[in-house]
Copies of this chain bind each other. A is one copy, B any other.
Amino acid sequence: MYRKMHIPDDPHFYEKFYFTPGDLGFQAFETRFARIGVLICWDQWYPEAARLTALRGAEVVFYPTAIGWLAADKNNPDEGLAQLDAWQTIQRSHAIANGVYVAAANRVGHEGPAAAGVDFWGRSFVCDPLGRVMVEASAAAGDVLIATCDRTVLENQRRGWPFLRDRRIDSYAGIDRRFLDTPWP
């Protein structure tokens, strides 16, 4: 089982009020098709979460998520569209850094008052281990996406750019601290 580890809190998502943080760490699960990991929503912004899930052997990481625009931002290329792009970028980067497939399923529709509230931006997608978007949904409708994930692609990507091989595991101490602004170690 996985329980959402990273809990956000902002004026439209009072999650620190409603949720207690997950206590089971980062997991991967054997299925009949592949070994998969699941991370939830705010988790998607954390490279540590993707890394630990990949180190557990996940070949595909799923991100069920509910993220959207405030009305004021939606059509502003410097804000709303840049936020959407950042959301896709960080998840594609997890695929790249770890040599895994990533599948992000994001909510569509509107919640709250028409002129306020949140417009969920949909745009669910699957990308391959080089971060190439294979299939992508619209921002509006409840689409169904199908993508073929191939272990050969995963293997070739990890062979061509073997990032996991070269990790400096002797030098990542401190990543479990809030700040390193005081002398460390």
A residues at B contact (CB < 8 Å): 5-10, 21, 25-26, 42, 45-52, 55-57, 78, 82-83, 85-86, 89-90, 92-94, 96-97, 130-132, 160-161, 163-164, 166-181
Q: Give the nearest-CB partner of A55 in chain B.
A: B180
Q: In the complex, how many angstroms separate the beta carbon of A27 from the nearest chain B beta carbon?
A: 10
Q: Give the nearest-CB partner of A21 in chain B.
A: B168
Q: Is the CB of A56 within 8 A of B180?
A: yes
Q: Is the CB of B47 within 8 A of A47?
A: yes
Residues of B within 8 A of A174 (CB): 25, 52, 55
* Known contacts A45-B163, A130-B83, A176-B172; is-contact A181 B5 (Cβ 8 Å): no
Q: In the complex, how many angstroms separate the beta carbon of A37 from the nearest chain B beta carbon?
A: 11
Residues of B within 8 A of A163 (CB): 45-46
Residues of B within 8 A of A93 (CB): 47, 89-90, 92-94, 97
* Known contacts A90-B96, A97-B90, A130-B86; is-contact A52 B161 (Cβ 8 Å): no
Residues of B within 8 A of A82 (CB): 130-132
> Given the complex of chains A and B, what is the CA–CA distance between A87 and B86 in angstroms?
15
Q: In the complex, how many angstroms separate the beta carbon of A83 from the nearest chain B beta carbon?
A: 7
Contact of A45 among B45, B50, B97, B170 (CB under 8 A): B97
Contact of A181 among B8, B57, B96, B130 (CB under 8 A): B57
